[in-house]
Amino acid sequence: MATIISGMKGTGDLSTYRLKVDIGDGIALLDPNENPFTLMTRKVGKRIAKQPKVSWLEDVLQPEVDQVSVGTTSVQTSIEVKNTTYFAVGDLVQVFDSYEIMYVNSITDSAIVVSRNYPGVSAGSTGISTALVADDYLIRLSNANEEGAAAPQAKMTVETQVDNYTQIIRTPFELTETELNSLMHGEQDLPYETRKKAIEHSRKLEYAAIWGIPSYSGVGTTGGKPMRTMGGLWWYLKENASSGNLANQAELTEDEFLAWIRNCFRYGSSKKVMFACPLILSAIEKWGLSKLQTVSSDNTYGINISKWTSPHGDIAIVNHKMLEGPAPGTAGGWAFLLDMAKIKYAHLQNRDTKLKTNIQEPSEDRYEAEYLTEASLEIKNPNCHGAIYNVTSFAA
């Protein structure tokens, strides 16, 4: 039935379907959660994995520090320690608190048998015999050998194999052929969905690289074939890094932050990268730490980087919004300080992120595509890295 109006006809009289919707030339897609960790790792450390199980070897120098396990008197010569395998006959061992030096004569299953106060000094000199208590630190200084003696007992560390697995991550999308070939306002749906799914796929990979747990199942849940998951940063750090490298701080202070930085720089490179949530970045700015050196912007890896020369080493700081937690401002925030020379992104041959198009069955009246990645990580020497977590506020 026709609608009759009197007088001038205006846009308010038109059906909404008559007016072309002004949505611009493209569809704006806001993505606050970028994937800087996997992006940078691919740029600075990338290799082809030869099989789905990714392995590497780690080793350390022979430990120089041990601790007393049971207290002793100032003259007792059998000293129970936590790790007798660290010591060899002929070692000179210093008690850190008293500076007393002891000479190792023999070793039992639980103790080192020593000459106390070696080579013998009087009270008031550098070191004197004192009672030892549990957890006192002992430092292996060196060894002393008599002229013409045979070689001392050899002590060597053995490499440890560490494993991870490649994980198959897939992000599919599909459109009907009718929808695909329909003229639309603004951007066509296929390039928009292709771009949007690329962002979603990169987020999945970033989540796996940070929070994943390594696993292998010989039989999958559907087709009976193997299924694997990659271990991420947090798994390898919490399992293997020293406690000083892992800081659980609800209210983060400047002193606590600097102590964490100091521990993380004890080993590895003097140049590291910190991926931090916005709250921790706000704390750094509030404390004025970034003003110790001129802050510069760097787009070497396609992301903005601020540089800070700390007292312990150079730090490239990256804003990582995905480390805010599920409820920014309420859930605890995170930061990872990483030695990127010790981290590699490993993908199977021809299985780095790719877009597979037209994967629908020939008889189907639709278009199907997917992003697919089969990759893993190498995270070597956990004590070269660190994490600070559960930060909800900061103070001076």
Lowest mean pLDDT among 120-129, 289-298, 328-337: 289-298
CA distance 324 to 85: 43
DSSP annotation of 17 reads T
Same domain, 377 and 293: yes
Domain that holds residue 45: 36-57+162-395
Do you know the residue count of the chain? 396
Same domain, 290 and 231: yes
CA distance 40 to 345: 10
Q: Is the dihedral of CA 39, 41, 45, 48 positive or negative?
A: negative
* Tens of pLDDT, residues 95-137: 998 888 999 999 999 999 999 988 876 555 556 788 999 999 9
Query: Measured between alpha carbons, how far is 214 from 299 in angstroms, rounded to an integer?
Result: 32
On whether both 307 and 372 belong to a single domain, the answer is yes
- Where does the pLDDT of residue 289 fall: very low under 50, low under 70, confident under 90, or very high at 90 and above? confident
Asked if 318 and 214 sit in the same domain, the reply is yes
Of 30-44, 182-196, 373-387, give the lowest mean pLDDT range.
30-44
Q: For the whole model, what pTM was predicted?
A: 0.81
Answer yes or no: do 310 and 250 share one domain.
Answer: yes
Is 387 a member of any domain? yes
Q: What percent of the chain has pLDDT over 90?
A: 58
Regarding whether 278 and 131 lie in a shared domain, the answer is no
Same domain, 312 and 296: yes
Is residue 128 domain-shared with residue 201, that is, in the same domain?
no
Closest C-alpha among 314, 278, 323 to residue 296: 314
- More confidently predicted of 76 and 297: 76
**How large a percentage of the chain has pLDDT more than 70?**
85
200 within a domain of the structure (yes/no): yes
Both 44 and 69 in one domain: the answer is no
- In CATH, what number is assigned to the domain containing residue 183? 3.90.1690
List Cβ neighbours of 46 (8 Å cut-off, separation of 6 or more).
344, 345, 346, 347
Cβ atoms 136, 67 nearer than 8 A: yes
Out of 113, 143, 173, pick the residue that ends a domain. 143
Q: Into how many domains does the chain fold?
A: 2
Question: Would residue 309 count as lying in a domain?
Answer: yes
pLDDT value at residue 179? 86
Would you state the pLDDT for residue 70?
95
- The reported pLDDT for the residue numbered 164 is 96
Res 10: pLDDT: 60
Structural domain contains residue 153: no
Check whether residue 85 and residue 206 sit in a common domain.
no
Instruction: Look at residue 296 and tell me whether its pLDDT is greater than 50.
Output: no
In a domain, 3, yes or no: no
Per-residue pLDDT of 26-45, as tens digits, reads 555 556 556 889 988 988 88
Indicate whether 190 and 312 sit together in one domain: yes
Inter-axis angle of helices 278-287 and 254-264, nearest 10 = 110
pLDDT band per the 50, 70, 90 thresholds, residue 381: very high
